[in-house]
Amino acid sequence: MNIKEITHGNNHYEMELQHGNLHVFANSDVFQTFESRVYEMADNNLRIPRNVHMSYTPDAHVGVGTCIGTTAVWSMKDGFVSPSIVGVDIGCGMRVHTTSLHKRDIQDKEVRRALIKAIEKYVPTNERTNTHYADIDIMYVVQNGLKGLPERYVPHEQWLTHVEESTFKFEHQYLDKLPAKIRKYAHGQLGTLGGGNHFIEIQYLEIEEGQKDLAAKWGLFDGQIVVMIHSGSRAWGAMLGQEYTKVFRGAMQSWGVENPDRNLIYAPIASNEGQTYLNLMYSALNFAVSNRHMIAFGVREAFKEVFGANLEMPVLYDLMHNYALKEFHRNQPMLVHRKGATRALPPSHFLNTAVYKETGHPALIPGSMGTSSYIMIGREEGIKNFYSICHGAGRARSRRATKELVTVDQFEQSLKVGTDDEILVNHRSLQSILDECPQAYKDVDQIIDSVVGASLADVVAKCKPMAAIKGV
């Protein structure tokens, strides 16, 4: 492929591809690792008419139809929506809860083992285990999000306000278009973790120099124990994505629309297919934010069991990194797709949720198992990328390649097994989760350096892992 590279400086490259321009935000070391396939995928994406903006964050890597790490924008007036540029795990995202505990309070391995055991008691991590919350009406949740949960599962009003959205509004009649099997499979999954790269991690904070004041406003302090949760919409979003992949593909065939990658599907926002998908996608976002909420509720119960009934766990923030959302940019409504990309709004931006209007909201960026995660804050300059930053470290190699190239001994070294600082996990055999080892991912510190160097966001705190709970 013939590619012309324009260097804007400050970790910002612009690639002139055959069908449009792609912005890439990465430092020089990360930029050199991008393979030709990621540019081929971008060029296929840019065949979709009237694209306003397309970019890769430094964690970008090959996905199905579209790279993970993509931000793609179209006008609501005459643009397109693409399930491929949303991803199958609709609404997948991050959530962080704070505590009054300090690192020294859980330094003892036996305390951490007790926490892991208690969390597994309250949060199902086995795919075959159903939810502990069968009394919750799933249909009411997908219609109303957090406001569809019974009051007994909302410990504090703050659990409803420190989120990107408590309810994603849509036309409920579109739910009639869903196959009944989606309801069946999703019914037992609210408050369950799921597998793959989803996790619950117990971490302690290292506040960045120069960010003490902002951290204090957010209730953060050095050595503080926090809990980071990564999960999504489970079967509701996955099966919806699979269903509408077939619907969109059939529609494209009937319209005579072709693309070199048959896994890349799209339709006009104004079309029947586009409107149906957007409305149903919002139902999956409601499931996703409610799922993370209920996982957090279970984690809170576990912490209370270990540390006493008076312990509380306020929400720092909950946000997504797989979705398409109507946002106002350049004085007009745009549909911003983020597939493996995180919104990071600066202070005083009008899109900030009310509680973070003044400071800007925390942007939650997970690392890989055994490495640091990050809490960041968006910068004004982020407007050049529609306020999108990375969503994590990003995979450096496939699950299969990881199992072939990385040994369990190397994984153990990453987790400091046998030392006082060992990162405890809930799996007896590391072999079973070898494909999630740090060696499977890019260097998260290089990813964060890329984002900071591009003036998209700044680091507020590092989150250092002490224990991890993975699904099986």
Residue 423: HSE in the Cβ half-sphere, 13 Å Cα cutoff: 26
Does the annotation place 199 within a ligand binding site?
A: yes
| Crossing angle (nearest 10°) for helices 272-307 and 109-122 | 130
Q: Are 115 and 303 in contact (CB under 8 A)?
A: yes
Q: Is 323 exposed, middle or buried (0-12, 13-18, 19+ CB in 10 A)?
A: buried
Does the annotation place 333 within a ligand binding site?
A: no
Does the annotation place 130 within a ligand binding site?
A: no
323 vs 339: CA distance, rounded Å: 6
- Strands annotated E in 279-405: 315-320, 322-329, 332-339, 341-343, 362-365, 373-378, 388-390
Strands 20-25 and 53-61: parallel
Does the annotation place 19 within a ligand binding site?
A: no
Strands 424-425 and 457-470: parallel
Three-state DSSP state, 231: strand
383 vs 238: CA distance, rounded Å: 31
Q: Which two tokens stand for residue 450?
A: 């890329």
Q: Are 288 and 91 in contact (CB under 8 A)?
A: yes
Does the annotation place 100 within a ligand binding site?
A: no
Does the annotation place 471 within a ligand binding site?
A: no
Does the annotation place 8 within a ligand binding site?
A: no
Q: Return the amino acid letter for 377.
A: I
Does the annotation place 197 within a ligand binding site?
A: yes
Torsion-angle region of 210 (φ positive above 0: left; ψ -120 to 50: alpha; else: beta): left
Q: Are 250 and 277 in contact (CB under 8 A)?
A: no
Longest Cα–Cα distance in the chain: 63
Does the annotation place 349 within a ligand binding site?
A: no
Residue 460: HSE in the Cβ half-sphere, 13 Å Cα cutoff: 26
221 vs 463: CA distance, rounded Å: 11
The distance in angstroms from the start CA to the end CA of the chain is 41
Does the annotation place 392 within a ligand binding site?
A: yes
Does the annotation place 369 within a ligand binding site?
A: yes
Does the annotation place 427 within a ligand binding site?
A: no
Task: Determine which one of 23, 53, 162, 391 is catalytic.
Answer: 391
Does the annotation place 329 within a ligand binding site?
A: no
Does the annotation place 166 within a ligand binding site?
A: no
Specify the DSSP class assigned to residue 441. B
Query: Distance of alpha carbon 239 from its chain centroid, rounded?
Result: 18
Does the annotation place 470 within a ligand binding site?
A: yes
Torsion-angle region of 228 (φ positive above 0: left; ψ -120 to 50: alpha; else: beta): beta
Would you call 102 a catalytic residue per the annotation?
no
Does the annotation place 436 within a ligand binding site?
A: no
Q: Which two tokens stand for residue 456?
A: 């998209």
Does the annotation place 198 within a ligand binding site?
A: yes
Say which residue the tokens 């060696």 belong to: 439
Binding-site annotation: residue ranges for Mn(2+)? 89, 198, 230, 321
Q: Which residues are catalytic?
A: 391
Binding-site annotation: residue ranges? 89, 197-201, 230, 321-322, 366-369, 373, 391-394, 470
Binding-site annotation: residue ranges for GMP? 197-201, 321-322, 366-369, 373, 391-394, 470
